Amino acid sequence: MSLSGRSRRGLIALAAVLLDFFLLLVLLILPARAALAQLHWPQFRGPGGSGVSPDGDIPVRFGPDRNAAFKVPLPPGHSSPCVAGERLFLTGHAEGLLVTFAIDRRQGKVLWSRGERPEKIESGSRLSSPAASTPTADETRVYVYFAAVGLIAYGHDGQEAWRKPLPVPITGHGASTSPVLAGDRLLLACDQDVGSHLLAVDRRTGETLWRAERPGFRRGFSTPLVWPPEAPRAVVLPGSLRVVAYDLRDGAERWSARGLPNEMVTTPVAGDGLIFTGGWTYGSGVETMPAFATLLEPGDRDGDGQLTSEEAPAGPARQHFRYIDADKDGRITRSEWDSIAKIFDEARNTLLAVRPDGEGDVTETHVVWRQTRGLPYVPSPLFYGGRLFLIRNGGIASAFEARSGRAFYQEKRIEAGGEYYSSPVAAGGKICVASIQGVVTVLKAGDELEVLARNELGEPILATPAIAGRKLYVRTEGHLYAFEEPEGE
């Protein structure tokens, strides 16, 4: 059947209208998506776990009474702000209740909150928190992890989509790793004193997709790094003594590199074709542990071949008792002792720069450079402008050329002492670091150490700040601040 000339003209006109409509949608949607990208800090340390807002900026001088767009009271917690479009997500803990908050990122208004009251909160250390894990978000949902509960997915409107109960991890400090997204997968590191593993679940349903066992890894607090961020194929997770890359499809081990501390707290970062991971712990460098038999003779009073805390003789057995007692049954067995003795013996306080294109053990072939000075205990490294920046306790900063490891400056004081648990973030040519004592220092990102300002907030800070647009979001012990300098200041 042939079309008449009138029909053909009608179809052509309709096609032209549809094309104009499509072009209009493109013109409307693309700027909106670009604006969303600028206001997107979707996980711990932002886009790709980098700690960098590529199109954002941060103020230099601010405080409770200066350049504060808003100040919202919140219950305590160490989770960092997670920003998705106009919403900001956080968690907190108060009176046995674990709470997820959605906050209007412009005005600071709490849009909704959802609470969980677990039967038991996991044990922790002096500076730990049951609300330490940072949420991660996509266009429609936010995903939270509480060690005492498991994984929960909420819609941006606060409606629960699914939940996945998980066993409480066995550690002496609680959990602080954060979930991350990679395509249709939600990834969670579960390093602990017994049963360490990496878990991947379907982000739509919470169903387990794979579980990669990590035998030989003890407690760890790192958040996984998805690699490469633009088209993820692997997930990189450091732990006791080594860093491992797993295939994102099935969790199979692809490569590993040795030379790390006995437990890892920092999170890896990528840049210039390398992955940077490492840190410092008290356990690394411990002298060779004595043979277990030499401890039983003076200490094993009941002759059961094990040591209780009362039986443990002075020295490593008593000093590290809770750490060595992996299953927390109050006794050290020979296998527990031998396992930790091997870890202590091989542990190294080191930062590694690894080329991530190898297979198997790449320690001798793909470790491009190492660094042993200026290493942080908790704050993760920051890659920014071709440099790798470190901050450690005492307010001691170092910066290296990322490709070579050459030091621009090393172990220089920023004159803001104290402990540092918050990780550095960067935008607009500036680096921001925060101390537990509540001082937020802004540095110029360059080859020399230059302090632009020290800002005192008057409250402890353990959470890592977030950046969205021109706003810097800082979570203190009792508040969430949004700081922004007026245009032209």
Decide if 192 contacts 214 (C-beta within 8 A).
no
C-alpha dist (Å) from residue 297 to 106, 333, 428 = 66, 14, 63
Which contiguous run of DSSP H or E holds residue 342? Answer: helix 334-346
Domain boundary among 345, 364, 380: 345
- Residues 233 and 372 placed together within one structural domain of the fold: yes
Tokens 């042993």 found at: 372
- Residues 431 and 464 placed together within one structural domain of the fold: yes
Tens-digit pLDDT string for the chain (489 aa)? 444 555 555 555 555 544 454 444 433 333 434 344 445 899 999 999 999 999 999 999 999 999 999 999 999 999 999 999 999 999 999 988 999 999 999 999 999 999 999 988 887 777 889 999 999 999 999 999 999 999 999 999 999 999 999 999 988 788 899 999 999 999 999 999 999 999 999 999 999 999 999 999 998 999 999 999 889 999 999 999 999 999 999 999 999 999 999 999 999 999 999 999 999 987 665 667 888 988 888 888 888 999 999 988 888 888 888 888 888 899 999 998 888 888 888 999 999 999 999 999 999 999 999 999 999 999 999 999 999 999 999 999 999 999 999 999 999 999 999 999 999 999 999 999 999 999 999 999 999 999 999 999 999 999 999 999 999 999 999 999 999 998 765
C-alpha dist (Å) from residue 429 to 40, 46, 426 = 19, 17, 7
Domain boundary among 345, 366, 383: 345
Tokens representing 101? 């908050």
Decide if 334 contacts 293 (C-beta within 8 A).
no
- Residues 135 and 198 placed together within one structural domain of the fold: yes
Decide if 372 contacts 349 (C-beta within 8 A).
yes
Against a cut of 0.85, is the pTM above it? Answer: yes
Domain membership of residue 226 (yes or no) is yes
- Residues 159 and 215 placed together within one structural domain of the fold: yes
The whole-angstrom separation of Cα 399 and Cα 418 is 20
Decide if 108 contacts 72 (C-beta within 8 A).
yes
**Residue 297 CB contacts under 8 Å (≥ 6 apart), including other chains:** none
- Give SS3 for 303: coil
- Structurally, the chain folds into a number of domains equal to 2
- Residues 320 and 214 placed together within one structural domain of the fold: no
Q: What is the CATH number of the domain that holds 313?
A: 1.10.238
- Residues 351 and 402 placed together within one structural domain of the fold: yes
Domain membership of residue 1 (yes or no) is no
Domain membership of residue 35 (yes or no) is no
The domain of 376 spans 40-285+347-483
- Residues 115 and 226 placed together within one structural domain of the fold: yes
- Residues 257 and 380 placed together within one structural domain of the fold: yes
- Residues 119 and 194 placed together within one structural domain of the fold: yes
Domain boundary among 327, 345, 363: 345
DSSP 182-210: ETTEEEEEE--SSS-EEEEEETTT--EEE
- Residues 129 and 258 placed together within one structural domain of the fold: yes
Chain-centroid distance of CA 464 in Å reads 9
Q: What is the CATH number of the domain that holds 68?
A: 2.130.10.10
Domain membership of residue 77 (yes or no) is yes
The whole-angstrom separation of Cα 48 and Cα 53 is 10
The pairs formed by 410-415 with CB atoms below 8 angstroms and a separation of 24 or more are 410/373, 410/374, 411/373, 411/374, 412/449, 414/441, 414/443, 414/449, 414/451, 414/454, 415/451, 415/454
The whole-angstrom separation of Cα 207 and Cα 236 is 22
The whole-angstrom separation of Cα 120 and Cα 112 is 25
Domain membership of residue 33 (yes or no) is no
Domain membership of residue 202 (yes or no) is yes
Tokens representing 242? 């080594």
Domain membership of residue 14 (yes or no) is no
Decide if 178 contacts 133 (C-beta within 8 A).
yes
- Residues 379 and 394 placed together within one structural domain of the fold: yes
Domain membership of residue 137 (yes or no) is yes
The whole-angstrom separation of Cα 218 and Cα 242 is 11
- Residues 177 and 319 placed together within one structural domain of the fold: no
Tokens representing 177? 């790793």
